[in-house]
Structure 1
Amino acid sequence: MALTDSASPDAPTGQPQLMRTIGLGQMVFYSAGSMLGAGIYGLIGKAAGELGSAVWLGFLLAMVAALLTGLSYASLGSRYPRAGGAAYVTHRAYGRGLLTHVLGLAVAGSGLTSIAAGSWVIGLNLQRIPFLSETPVVVLTVAYLFLMAGIVFRGIRESMWANVVCSVVEAAGLALIIVVGAKYWGSVDMFQTPATPSGGSLLAIPPLLMVQGAVLTFFSFVGFEDTLNVAEEVKSPRRTLPLGLVLGMSLACILYIGVAVTAVSVIPWRELADAKAPLADVMARAAPWFPGWAFVVITVFAVANSALINYVTASRLLYGMARDGRLPARLARVHPTRRTPHIAILILLVLLIALAMAGDIAELASATVLLLLCVFVVVNASLVVLTLRKDEPKGGFEIPIVIPAAGAVVCLGLLVARIASDDWRAPLIAGVLLASAAALYPFVKPKPTAPTG
């Protein structure tokens, strides 16, 4: 079924519909902005605690895994540009209602845990501003969540422009760190880890340590899956969506490796691991002339951007699944004036406030990655199935079948490695969300439409 630029597929006749306002430039910012946020600004210290000065290798390994799956998403986006993308693709490939339901809610759940992780980064950074230093983190966190909900409700055009502004600010902040910290490059052993204090070479680093570190740094690259869920609001989606996704991922990769090398060069990794606002501390050490409060503001913009994008994605995913009969129909309602799925936005706000209280930054980030790794295994495998199906329509961006196959294998390996680690809290959070999604299935009484194009 060919999509037009004026209507959402399968939209009920006479009902308000989503608007196509997103061009290529905004799509690049949306893709890059979804990655340049809480992961690098809030978690590089945690990653340094696991990988030491070799944290850049964790980012490199995570980048390879992300690129494989990102290319699969780009191809799927050019084939099936519609809201609820991952759930729709899974249903099209397998036709299994329970799998489709759980996977769709897993994507939504990963967005929620990601926003919740970012909310703590926001709260901790805002406390560094003098006039907010006495305000409890929980108050700052909840206020921030209400602000995000208000922007998302206001409209997709407003959300996209807020995304553009935040993306420019956060990319500039990362580039600034690289520029002011480049003079420190070469001053430390870049292969030193907690397991190999003497460092020396890549071969000395335990493979399992690298894989487990890559699972945490993988959180910095998640976000490309968000592109599928705004497909119905993209102009010329079969071309704009994959091109914007690939360009956005490329920008994020360059900045991440540069920042990772710079951070451990400026501040010893043990000290970086204990920092509450690691990149702000790096900036203070490398450029003491730069106002400390200014980088706190940059960090807040960066993390808020990731949250904004995840909020938009989760609301559109619930909207798409509800429209396809896989969730209660009320979630598919679009506000007649703002043209946004307002019921879904409100429900997500309630869940976010509860989830933000459930764990710290690292636990919520790891839970996000676990949920998305499950999703990525299934989505990559779905593209393999659809590619082998002779009567499936082709998209504007086709890739060799070996790419989604490799993406599924790599993501499965990262998933197993993370579950096998000693920390049980993140798998518990992810497991509870998946179990809750499965338990909900009989009660929503899904009445799915046929998986047509």
Structure 2
Amino acid sequence: MAATQDAAAARQPELHRSIGRFQLFAYTLGGMLGAGIYGLVGRAAGDLGNAVWLGFAVAMVAALLTGLSYASIGSRYPRAGGAAYVTQRAYGMRLLSWMVGLAVMASGLTSVATQSRVVAANLLSLFPLGAPPVVVALGFLLLVAGVVFRGIRESMAVNVLCTLVEFCGLVFIIVVGIPYWGGVDLLVTPSPEGISASLLLSGAILTFFAFIGFEDSLNVAEECKDAARTVPFGIVGAMLAATVLYMAVAVTAVSVVPFGELATAPSPLAAVTAVAAPWFPGWGYVAITVFAVANTALLNYVTASRLAFGMARDGLLPEALGRVHPGTRTPHVAIGVLFVVLVALVLAGDIGQLASATVLLLLAVFTVVNGALLVLQRRAGEPRGGFEVPSFVPAAGAVVCLVLLGNRVATGDWRAPALAGVILLVILGLFFLLRPRALARGA
């Protein structure tokens, strides 16, 4: 029986290894930039004042610890379904691997559904066609599903285009704001105590979420050429590039608009543009937002489909989800099944709270994955990758993520942690209902 299954698996077409270094760099950068930075600068300025740029610097150090762990894992084990796979390989616990994989997938799917509605709202503001927003959202979702099904090359090409638009939008802010640099003291804060460790920590906790998105790259590692070098380059390079962009945008924003006004502005960077480049049309930001949000939806769809494919191949999800289309070399069954789930989520209405809860779950996943790398580093016989990090990196990354998770639960809105708990209970219930098998540890 086992021999028959192995023979069938050998006849299955494989995912297409076509992603180069620049493409993965754009994939990772696009996943982090998104549209969040356009509002996050204002919220962070309310906490840190003119020193908001320092918050991004500290957050980068915290996020880079986990980013380095993911880069090392991708170079060691370039497989779809990365987080679930390394969890199973390290701990050999089906339940934990299942919960990690489904938590990441839930985060991706709720993001796609949320972004589909945002794209619809922005498109209708640009082109008031009179169509119901939900119809536009479903049309957009169908278009994204078509791109993801068509192939990884096509998905990467669309991502490069969207990432370029996002990048140029932020660079535009910096360029028009540079004449204002030097006009304010960049160390002034709202706190009478000035810059303190607690102030920086609170700012870093807020800005840390601007770096979430790097983890998506692990799920396309199997489709990378020379993954041992491509994955580390893409993840680390994109995180450093995003940090430079974020810090420059932050300096520009507080230099052009007083941080108090920035914190209360509905669209902080639009307020910056209104002062620094009043000639720039208002619809320009709407167009940039469409590209940014559409890119986030595309990347999360790709990630979720590869995660489902990898988990199916490793025995954690139904075997059919592990099939690859012989023509497009994409996991077509997983893409189709996820499309049905996404349609249901879009039709469910506003799931903003659900999306916030699943993002919170990512911190728990980061903690588990950092721990998994630590276990695998210490296990004799484990293959080494093209990018190794010392053990203190995953150890520190796990601690940082635990601290951020604890702080978020203790000080944030209670609804997101409560909903995250409900999601975990649902995932747990599905495990006992479906009773997934799993490959042996280290398989």
TM-score by length of 2: 0.89
Alpha-carbon distance between aligned partners in 1 of 2:326 and 2:264, rounded to the nearest angstrom: 48
Post-superposition offset of 1:450: 2.2
**Please, which of 17, 24, 29 is the counterpart of residue 32 of structure 1?**
29
Which residue number in structure 2 is paired with residue 5 of structure 1? none
Which residue number in structure 2 is paired with residue 431 of structure 1? 421
Q: In the TM superposition, what whole-angstrom CA distance separates every residue of 1:369-401 from its partner, at most 9, and x where no partner exists?
A: 311110110111111111111221211111111
| Paired residues for 1:2-13 under 5 Å | 12-13=9-10
Which residue number in structure 2 is paired with residue 202 of structure 1? 195
Alpha-carbon distance between aligned partners in 1 of 2:130 and 2:39, rounded to the nearest angstrom: 21
Which residue number in structure 2 is paired with residue 448 of structure 1? 438
Post-superposition offset of 1:75: 0.7
Q: In the TM superposition, what whole-angstrom CA distance separates every residue of 1:295-338 from its partner, at most 9, and x where no partner exists?
A: 32222212221221111011100110011110112221223332
> Counterpart amino acid of 2:13?
P
Q: Which runs of 5+ in 1 are unaligned?
A: 1-8
Alpha-carbon distance between aligned partners in 1 of 2:271 and 2:382, rounded to the nearest angstrom: 52
Which residue number in structure 1 is paired with residue 81 of structure 2? 84
Which residue number in structure 1 is paired with residue 3 of structure 2? none
> Counterpart amino acid of 2:86?
V
| Paired residues for 1:123-202 under 5 Å | 123-129=120-126, 131-132=127-128, 138-188=134-184, 190=186, 196=190, 201-202=194-195
Post-superposition offset of 1:342: 2.4
Alpha-carbon distance between aligned partners in 2 of 1:136 and 1:259, rounded to the nearest angstrom: 35
Residue 249, structure 1, aligned to residue 239, structure 2: yes
Q: Could you say what secondary structure the match of 1:420 adopts?
A: helix
Alpha-carbon distance between aligned partners in 2 of 1:187 and 1:137, rounded to the nearest angstrom: 43
Alpha-carbon distance between aligned partners in 1 of 2:188 and 2:122, rounded to the nearest angstrom: 29
User: What's the C-alpha RMSD, in Å, of the aligned pairs?
Assistant: 2.7
**Please, which of 72, 92, 98 is the counterpart of residue 95 of structure 2?**
98
Which residue number in structure 2 is paired with residue 230 of structure 1? 220
Deviates more, 1:51-60 or 1:338-347: 51-60
Which residue number in structure 2 is paired with residue 392 of structure 1? 382
Residue 401, structure 1, aligned to residue 391, structure 2: yes
Q: In the TM superposition, what whole-angstrom CA distance separates every residue of 1:53-83 from its partner, at most 9, and x where no partner exists?
A: 5443432332111100000111111111100
> Counterpart amino acid of 1:154?
R
**Cα pair distance change 1:355/1:426, threshold 3 Å:** farther
**Cα pair distance change 1:411/1:422, threshold 3 Å:** closer
1:216–1:366 Cα contact (<8 Å) kept: no
Q: Which runs of 5+ in 2 are unaligned?
A: 1-5
Q: Could you say what secondary structure the match of 2:9 adopts?
A: coil
Post-superposition offset of 1:275: 4.5
Q: Could you say what secondary structure the match of 2:208 adopts?
A: helix
Q: In the TM superposition, what whole-angstrom CA distance separates every residue of 1:113-157 from its partner, at most 9, and x where no partner exists?
A: 33344345434543542x338666555444433332222122111
Alpha-carbon distance between aligned partners in 2 of 1:201 and 1:273, rounded to the nearest angstrom: 18
2:103–2:358 Cα contact (<8 Å) kept: no
Which residue number in structure 2 is paired with residue 3 of structure 1? none
**Cα pair distance change 1:184/1:17, threshold 3 Å:** same
> Counterpart amino acid of 1:219?
F
Which residue number in structure 1 is paired with residue 55 of structure 2? 58
Deviates more, 1:15-24 or 1:427-436: 427-436
> Counterpart amino acid of 2:157?
W
> Counterpart amino acid of 1:178?
I
**Cα pair distance change 1:27/1:41, threshold 3 Å:** same
Q: In the TM superposition, what whole-angstrom CA distance separates every residue of 1:227-270 from its partner, at most 9, and x where no partner exists?
A: 11111111111121112221111111111111122223333445
Post-superposition offset of 1:41: 3.0
TM-score by length of 1: 0.88
1:112–1:310 Cα contact (<8 Å) kept: yes
Residue 113, structure 1, aligned to residue 113, structure 2: no
Alpha-carbon distance between aligned partners in 2 of 1:147 and 1:191, rounded to the nearest angstrom: 46
Post-superposition offset of 1:429: 3.1
Alpha-carbon distance between aligned partners in 1 of 2:114 and 2:298, rounded to the nearest angstrom: 13
Q: Could you say what secondary structure the match of 2:411 adopts?
A: coil
Alpha-carbon distance between aligned partners in 2 of 1:270 and 1:142, rounded to the nearest angstrom: 39
